[in-house]
Structure formats: structure tokens, C-alpha cells
Amino acid sequence: MFRRWKESRRALPSPDTLMPPEGVPLTLPIAGVGVRLAAQITDIIITTIAAVCLVILLLVTNLTSPQTMVAVGALLFFLIRIPYYVCAEIAWNGQTLGKRLMKIKVVSHDGGPLTAHALVLRNLMKEAEIFLPGTLLLTLDAATPLESLASLVWVLTALLIPVFNRYRRRLGDMMAGTHVIHLPVPVLLKDLASEAPRPLQNAKKIVFLAHQLDHYGAFELQTLETLLRNQGTPPGSVSATQRDATITAIVEKIRKKIGYADPVPPADRLRFLQAFYNAQREHLEQRQLFGDRRENKHYAKGDAET
Amino acid sequence: MNGDDLIRSARFRKEREADWRRLEQLVMAAESRGLQHMDFAETRDLASLYRQATTSLAIAREISLDKALLGYLEALTARAYLCVYAPQQRLGGLIERFFTRSAPQAMRRSWLYILLGFLCMALGTLAGYLLYFENNDWFYVFMPSELSGGRGPDATTESLRDSIYGHDTGSTGLGAFATYLFSHNTRIAIFVFGLGVFACAPAILLTFYNGLILGAFVAVHVDRGLGPDIAGWLSVHGVTELSAICIACGGGLQLGAALLFPGDRTRAEALRLAGRDAVKLALVAALMLIVAAVLEGFARQLINETGPRLAIGWGVGALWLAWFCLAGRERS
């Protein structure tokens, strides 16, 4: 039964993908519990600072006496906190300051616009789920173990619901029909293949044959891409020697695997890798166009088994 | 470098990169300024470039193995999607709509749950009242000591009368307002709503218990012949405040009922539907509690006659009722 449950879970589409009307699945990665907690803590700090400032202002202007200060402070924290979350999320379309810092965002579960109703609901429920039992836990002492236990169970239930949920939704998210995503940051790096390796005057062009390019798949290619992109970033001497050693090892490994006969001189190693990347990518992309996707170097074994 | 010596996916990228960059700019502008403040030409470009970018993404997934390019397009189309299909809502008229339409309509729609809330409270009060007359010691069972403030079966009639008409201890105005808002009843109201979500039973019990306290408290005073006086003292803010608790209870019950009896829907879906009205009930209850705090913090300290106290309390109550019953009806 457990296995069937597991299989039914696997059959579901990934929670990260969203199908827009254009019919091209998009990726909106679900934000984890940790990053949301961090955003939450940032927001709590911000609202606490605001409340403390106001209390000090009230004290300075003699509007409140020290006896009632605690009550007034608690009231202000309460009165600042709830509108802060609601107004910030309405004004920034699903982001508070903490969420902006953590680059996460509330989106509507069905992919549509966020309604004010949904934002008010999810933030009111935050009070009922976390803050109330939380403050209760803080204010209670050992004299009332039953109430402490009850609020502890309450907080734990509220915290566990998102963990056991595909979309990491709180109770408030479920009621409001929202969930929280990582806001993707589009950064377009340079295309490695367009920076063609410049052949030195006396060096001959590095050429690979088709059978030499049949050994690797997309995974190895993209690993190589990451390696090449990281070149030249850290100029430190220790890491530089380490890097050189890595590159030497990789070049030797590739040479042995594909049966490349000529030795590669140390000055040409990067050029060799660059040329290999280009040739390999062209080769794999061409294979892919003909329906031959090669995920990694074990692609041939998978075919043999099935 | 000419385009001929590039491999296919690099050429693909070179041809479209300018459009993607433009889309990136438009997305940033839409996110920072809002779609409403953009030119017609810009929004038109945003929509059409977004569609081009999704096509690019689909093609790139087929023909390109450039991880950087794929990542960029994934992120760019996702951001653009949110701009095109999930734009920011306009905020104008939000508060007005809440007061004139959505709140009273929600109140009327969930009258049954609110009635249940009032019923819990009323039954509790009745039980507390009768139990007190059966045995005075019940008072100490129900009443938390910090709430009674010396008022109980042992107190003299005079001291009871004093606490009703006496100018309260030093704190008036802002201080009383604040201490009040964090008093017992506000906490109860928030708790009955919060507990209602997790299951109905705690919310019902808590409301009932609150009724018990109230009943016993009233009974102490009635026992000494202070019935009308305590009615006036309680009415000033109690009408608003106790109704707020019952309404919060109604909202909680609505959510709890959706969780316990979702019918043919999934629980999450049932919760979502119930939440539409429940959140409005919670907001109404919060509003009523703030009004009650103002009444207690200021009105009760200033007015020391039973008649005007009754009039204010029930007058405000009638205003609430009029709002719930009359506002926001559709004209046919």
C-alpha cells in the first residue's frame, strides 16, 4: 500500500511546473519552509522596530505612562503587524520586505491574479496559526502545563502542515488559494559556444571525429560548461594551482576516454576543453534533433536494458 | 565574427537575444511601476514578446543544451507570465466595498453559524446563571481570579455597587483602551476563531465557557438586587463585545465545519470556499472589538447613569444590526 501511495505521488506532475494558456510548461519553483521562515523573521524584526520606535515616541511626548507602556506596546505591535503584512503584500503584489529580500513571492494557486481577499485571509490566518499560540507559549509559565502543551501542539500542527504538503502551503495558503514561489531571476550568461577558441598562430585547429563524440551525454556537457564558466573568476594562487591540477586531470580523462591521440600541451588545455565543448554540443544537439536524447554517458546501457 | 560559423543553438540565441532583453526590461518596468502605468505600446510589446519567449523556450528545450540559456529563458518566461496573467489588482474602492457590500453580505450568508455562536454563548450564560443560584461556590469554579477583581459572592453589596459606578482606577483614555484590547474577551474572540479552524469543538466549548463566566457574574449582582445596574454596566460595551465573540465563533465554526464535513470537495477546496465568508466575519469581529474598546475606554468612564448606559449600548447594537441587515442588498 505504501508503494502504491508512492507511485501515485510520482504520477502527479511536478509542483513546480505551471501550464500557461500558451501550452509551454513554465517553471515556478516552490519556496521551501526554511526560506519562508527567514523572510518571516525579517518581517517580525521590522515590525518590532517600528512598534518600539512608536512606543518611545509616545513616552517622549508623555501620551502614555510607564504603567500602561507594556499594554500600549503590545497593542501597537499588534496594530502595526497585521496591516503591515496585508498592505505590503497588496502593494507589492505578494511580497513583504522580508519576502523581497529572500526573493520569494506569493502567487495565486491557479496562476491568476492575487485578490485582496486572498492576501487578507492568508495573513489573518497567520495570526491564528503562529502568532497567537506563539505568544501564548511565551507568556505561559510552568504553572499551567496543560495550556502550554495545547499551544505547543497547535504551533507544531501549523508548522507541520506545510512540510507534508506538495506545495508547502500553510493552512492560510490553502484557504486563500495561494502558494509561495521563488521569484526566478533571469540572468543571461554569455554563450560559451559563441566565444570561439582563437587558434594561436602556429597551433593547428583541434578537430574531433564523430566516433570520439559518442561517449558523453548532456549531463557531462553541462558539467563541463559549469567548469568553463568558472574559469578566471578566482585569481588566488592556491586555488589557481588547484584549478590547473583539476583541468589537467580532466583533459587527460577526456583524452583517454575518447581516444584522442595527440598530447595536449599545458598552454592549450583550456583551448582543448573549449573546442571539445563546442564539438560535443554541436554533436549532441544534432543527435537530439533526430530524437536521440543522450542524458548522460550511460545512455547506451539504458537502451540495451529496455 | 559572422553567424555562419556558429552552431545551430548559438545562432538561434543570437537571432532572438535582443527580443529577450527587451522583454526583460518590460518585465522589470511592469513589476516596479505596475501595468496600469505603462504605455499602450509597452503593454502590447510585453504580451507579444512574452508569447515569443514561451515559443523560444519550447524550441530551446528541444534544440539547445546550453544550460545558461535554458535557465535564463525559464526564469524570464516565468517572470513575464506573472506580469501578463497575474497582474496587480487595483486597490481603489477596496475598503468602501468591504463596508457597503461584502461584509454585510457575508454576515447574512453565514447567519446560521452566527446564530450557533450566539446560541453557545446564551446557553453558557443560562447555565452559569442557574448554577450560581443552585450553589454559590460554582462562581469560583468558573471565574478566573484575575478577572473577578474581588467581585464575588463574598463581596459586600456596597463594594459591588462601587465597582459599577466608581470612577475606575486611574487609567483612562489611551491606557485603558490598550489594556482593554488585550483583556480577556479579545483573547477569547481571537481564540474561538483560531480554534474553530482546527476543529469546531474547542470553539464551541470556549464560547460556552465564556457564557458561563458571564452568567455567574450577572448572577452575583442579581442576587444582591443590582440587576438593572449590572445590565447598564455591561451593556455599554458588552452588547458590541459579546456579539463580536459570537461572530468570531461563527466564523471559526464555518471553517471547522468545512474541515470536518467537506462534502464532495477536497478538504483544501472546502476550506477555501468557507474562508471567503469566515475572514469577513473575523474582520467584522475585530472592528467590533475596537469599537467596544473605545466604548469601554471612554464612554463607560464618563457616563455613570444606568439609563444612558443602556441606551448607548443597545443603540450601538442596533446600529450594527442595521448594518448587517440593510447594507449591500442588490436592487432588483
A130–B contact, CB cutoff 8 A? no
User: Mutating which of A82, A93, A274, A290 best tests the B interface, going by the most B Cβ atoms within 10 A?
Assistant: A93
Using DSSP bridges, classify how beta strands A26-27 and A17-18 pair: parallel, antiparallel or unpaired.
antiparallel
Q: Do A22 and B54 touch (CB under 8 A)?
A: yes
Q: Do B7 and A278 touch (CB under 8 A)?
A: yes
CA distances from A281 to A136, A208, A251, A278, B61 (A): 60, 12, 17, 5, 14
From B7, B76, B77, residue closest to A193, measured CB to CB: B7
From B57, B65, B68, residue closest to A281, measured CB to CB: B65
Instruction: Check if the beta carbon of residue B187 is closer than 8 Å to that of residue B100.
Output: no
Separation between Cα atoms, residue A221 and residue A226, nearest integer Å: 9
Q: Do A128 and B5 touch (CB under 8 A)?
A: no
Separation between Cα atoms, residue B2 and residue B164, nearest integer Å: 93
For residue A157, the chain B residues in CB contact (below 8 A) are: 198
User: For residue range B38-71, what is the model confidence (pLDDT) as tens digits?
Assistant: 899 999 999 999 999 999 999 999 888 888 899 9
Q: What is the pLDDT of residue A256?
A: 87
Q: Integer distance in angstroms from the first to the last C-alpha of chain A?
A: 27
User: Crossing angle of helices A33-60/A145-163, nearest 10°?
Assistant: 130
Enter the C-alpha cell of residue A262. Answer: 595527440
Enter the C-alpha cell of residue A127. Answer: 495570526
> Nearest-CA distance from B84 to chain A in Å?
9
Confidence of residue B319 (pLDDT cuts 50, 70, 90): very high
Nearest to B116 by CA among B213, B240, B203: B203
A187–B contact, CB cutoff 8 A? yes
Classify the C-alpha dihedral B182-B184-B189-B194 as positive or negative: positive
Q: Integer distance in angstroms from the first to the last C-alpha of chain B?
A: 72
**Burial status of residue B224 (CB atoms within 10 A of its CB: 0-12, 13-18, 19 or more):** middle
A107–B contact, CB cutoff 8 A? yes
Radius of gyration of chain B (CA): 30
User: For residue range B203-260, what is the model confidence (pLDDT) as tens digits?
Assistant: 888 888 888 888 888 888 888 777 788 788 788 878 888 898 899 889 888 888 888 8
Q: Which residues lie across from A105 on neighbouring strands?
A: A181
Site of grid cell 452588547: B239
Q: What is the pLDDT of residue B3?
A: 47
User: For residue range A192-244, what is the model confidence (pLDDT) as tens digits?
Assistant: 777 655 555 556 677 888 888 888 888 888 888 888 888 765 566 677 788 88
Q: Which residues lie across from A180 on neighbouring strands?
A: A106
Q: Does the pLDDT value for residue B159 go beyond 80?
A: no
Site of grid cell 550568461: A189
Q: Provide the greatest CA pair distance for chain B.
A: 103
From B1, B63, B94, residue closest to A289, measured CB to CB: B63
Q: Do B85 and A192 touch (CB under 8 A)?
A: no
Q: Do B13 and A125 touch (CB under 8 A)?
A: no
Q: Average pLDDT for residues A111-118, to the nearest whole number?
A: 86
Q: Calculate what percentage of chain A has a pLDDT beyond 90.
A: 10
Q: Do B72 and A186 touch (CB under 8 A)?
A: yes
For residue A183, the chain B residues in CB contact (below 8 A) are: 79
Region label for A168, one of left (φ > 0), alpha (ψ between -120 and 50) or beta (otherwise): left
Q: Which of residues 228-247 of A touch B (CB under 8 A)?
A: 229
For residue A24, the chain B residues in CB contact (below 8 A) are: 54-55, 57-58, 77
Q: Which residues lie across from A18 on neighbouring strands?
A: A26
Q: Do B81 and A108 touch (CB under 8 A)?
A: no
User: For residue range B71-125, what is the model confidence (pLDDT) as tens digits?
Assistant: 999 999 999 999 898 887 777 778 888 888 888 888 899 899 999 989 998 999 9
> Nearest-CA distance from A160 to chain B in Å?
13
Q: What is the pLDDT of residue B170?
A: 47
A62–B contact, CB cutoff 8 A? no
Nearest to A99 by CA among A83, A119, A85, A110: A85
For residue B94, the chain A residues in CB contact (below 8 A) are: 116
User: Mutating which of B7, B48, B84 best tests the A interface, going by the most A Cβ atoms within 10 A?
Assistant: B7
Separation between Cα atoms, residue A137 and residue A152, nearest integer Å: 7
ipTM: 0.82
User: Crossing angle of helices B111-134/B227-260, nearest 10°?
Assistant: 130
B89–A contact, CB cutoff 8 A? yes
**Burial status of residue B324 (CB atoms within 10 A of its CB: 0-12, 13-18, 19 or more):** buried
Buried b (16+ CB within 10 A) or exposed e, B4-28: eebbebbebbeebeeebeebbebbe
The DSSP symbol for B299 reads I
